[in-house]
Copies of this chain bind each other. A is one copy, B any other.
Amino acid sequence: MMAMVFYLAKGSSMSLSKLPYKGTRDFFPTEMRKRDFIFNRMKKIAELHGYEAYDGPMVEEVELYLAKSGEELINEQIYSFIDRGDRKVAIRPEMTPTLARMVAQVHREFPKPLRWYAIPNLMRYEKPQKGRLREHWQFNCDIFGAPEALGEIEILQVASGLLKSFGATEEHFEILLNDRRLVDAFFKQTLNFDSERSHKLYKVLDKAKKVSNEALGKMLDELIPESVKKNQFVHYLNLKTFSDVDNFLTMYGLKDAAAGFVSFYKKLSSTGLSKIVVYDPTIVRGLDYYTGVVFEIFDKSPENRRAICGGGAYGNLLQIFNEPAMGGVGFGLGDVTLTDFLETHKLLPEFKAQDCDVLISYLEDSLEPQAFELAHKLRELNIKTELHLGEAKPKKVFQYAEKKGHKSVTIIGSEEVKNGSFEFKRLRDQEKAVISLNQLSELKEFLELTHG
């Protein structure tokens, strides 16, 4: 096989592409620092709310997605293939099916509610464009078995809390929200639609924001030829506030059927969320598995007017596994759309410098063992230490340290080794400190290190 490597290296026409697979990303150290910064905020906000981390495999058997999701997703967006054991498997396109499978396995062992979060990498066969890539990471938070309406409120707090933790406010984003119980009841009881017609109308609603008014009107003319029903539907489409919704439910006698939603928006008003949550009749979250509250978080900037996050309540996922029903509420928030949002509103710091405390260099090769020893001792004290390998001139060492963003530099000569003490230069202000081998923890104070 080595032969082949050499062959390729020699035959220039055979050289390989350096670029990542279409629609995926390479995370070089600067990008990775940004990603870690964002992921750490996700972990922090989840844990501040009592959520515990979980993870699952990056592939699942395809049946799992067939059982709970839209056919559209299976046919067009999923990365699926047959394995060598004739199993049909797929790279996970979303986390909720895996989550439901895992909760179905163990829910009896845990006190309720379960609060779980994850940040998996997911793949969908998308046409790459702004905000959409084939591989992304998605922050998922879910609560299972919470009392009615309260799980929904908490989940909205976690999702909006994440954005607020970056400094975003109601000027930057809003939560557009609806409820499948309301829509179901309205379609069935008021419009008197059977499930097939309801299904089609759901599809229209899901597209309502993406098409022109003319196109929308045409779709509605086809699907609702009856003028009374069409007027009722237009009434529905014009609902703008929870007070509008309350009147609408009363007028059509739907309050009982949508009681869970009524309870939700009444509780909502006593939380800090009511400023950022807006009722929106077109939010239905596609043909997905939701059964109650559904929501999307939208960027309010006209330059980046898109959903950053989607979620809602689902009542029936555990039943797919022959487990008793237990309601869940959750959301997924992708790193690509989140980063677009944060960059649109200039809510991210810069991530230029590596976080490294000290660079050690030495004047002669004979001092290498001492340099390795000093590095070892500093690392034992949790001091991030880079050893500049090989003999080097001090001037070059300092240039390198500046470029890499080191906090300090020490250069070992034979004098230093003889005295057992080293001069550390702090690059921020060029201050110096001489510290002996037995007192190396003084370097932490000198550099004002908070880690370790």
* A57 adjacent to chain B (CB < 8 Å): yes
Q: Is the CB of B271 within 8 A of A384?
A: no
> What residues of B have a CB within 8 angstroms of the CB of A59 in the complex?
21, 24, 79, 91, 123, 135
Closest to A3 in B: B195
Q: Is the CB of A69 within 8 A of B26?
A: no
Q: Is the CB of A20 within 8 A of B53?
A: no
Q: How far is the CA of A47 from the CA of B385 in the complex (A)?
A: 8
> What residues of B have a CB within 8 angstroms of the CB of A354 in the complex?
50, 52
Q: How far is the CA of A199 from the CA of B70 in the complex (A)?
A: 52
Q: Is the CB of B272 within 8 A of A60?
A: no
* A4 adjacent to chain B (CB < 8 Å): yes
> What residues of B have a CB within 8 angstroms of the CB of A368 in the complex?
150, 267, 270
Q: Is the CB of B18 within 8 A of A101?
A: yes
* A302 adjacent to chain B (CB < 8 Å): no
Q: Is the CB of B50 within 8 A of A27?
A: no
Closest to A370 in B: B270
> What residues of B have a CB within 8 angstroms of the CB of A4 in the complex?
66-67
Within 8 A of B (CB), among A321-376: 321-322, 354-356, 368-369, 372, 376
> What residues of B have a CB within 8 angstroms of the CB of A288 in the complex?
1
> What residues of B have a CB within 8 angstroms of the CB of A317 in the complex?
5
* A217 adjacent to chain B (CB < 8 Å): no
Q: Is the CB of B55 within 8 A of A35?
A: yes
Q: How far is the CA of A121 from the CA of B92 in the complex (A)?
A: 13
> What residues of B have a CB within 8 angstroms of the CB of A113 in the complex?
389
Q: How far is the CA of A157 from the CA of B376 in the complex (A)?
A: 9
Q: Which of the residues B16, B115, B135, B389 comes within 8 Å of A150, measured between beta carbons?
A: B389
Interface of A is mostly: mixed
CB distance from A94 to the nearest CB of B (A): 14
Q: Is the CB of A5 within 8 A of B68?
A: yes
Asked, given contacts A1-B69, A5-B67, whether A322 binds B50 with beta carbons under 8 Å apart, the answer is no
> What residues of B have a CB within 8 angstroms of the CB of A29 in the complex?
52-54, 116
Within 8 A of B (CB), among A43-99: 44, 47-50, 52-61, 63-64, 66-71, 79, 81, 83-85, 87, 89, 91, 98
> What residues of B have a CB within 8 angstroms of the CB of A115 in the complex?
386
Q: Is the CB of B123 within 8 A of A58?
A: yes
> What residues of B have a CB within 8 angstroms of the CB of A212 in the complex?
none
Closest to A272 in B: B376
CB distance from A396 to the nearest CB of B (A): 10
> What residues of B have a CB within 8 angstroms of the CB of A382 in the complex?
44, 48
Q: Is the CB of A18 within 8 A of B104?
A: yes
> What residues of B have a CB within 8 angstroms of the CB of A236 in the complex?
none
Q: How far is the CA of A272 from the CA of B6 in the complex (A)?
A: 36
> What residues of B have a CB within 8 angstroms of the CB of A310 in the complex?
none
Asked, given contacts A8-B67, A105-B26, whether A50 binds B356 with beta carbons under 8 Å apart, the answer is yes
Q: Is the CB of A153 within 8 A of B372?
A: yes
Interface centre among A28, A161, A287 (most CB of B within 10 A): A28
Q: Which of the residues B50, B58, B70, B271 comes within 8 Å of A135, measured between beta carbons?
A: B58
Q: Is the CB of B101 within 8 A of A16?
A: yes
* Nearest 10 CB-CB pairings of A with B: A50-B386, A24-B57, A9-B319, A81-B81, A147-B390, A15-B322, A29-B52, A270-B369, A150-B389, A27-B55
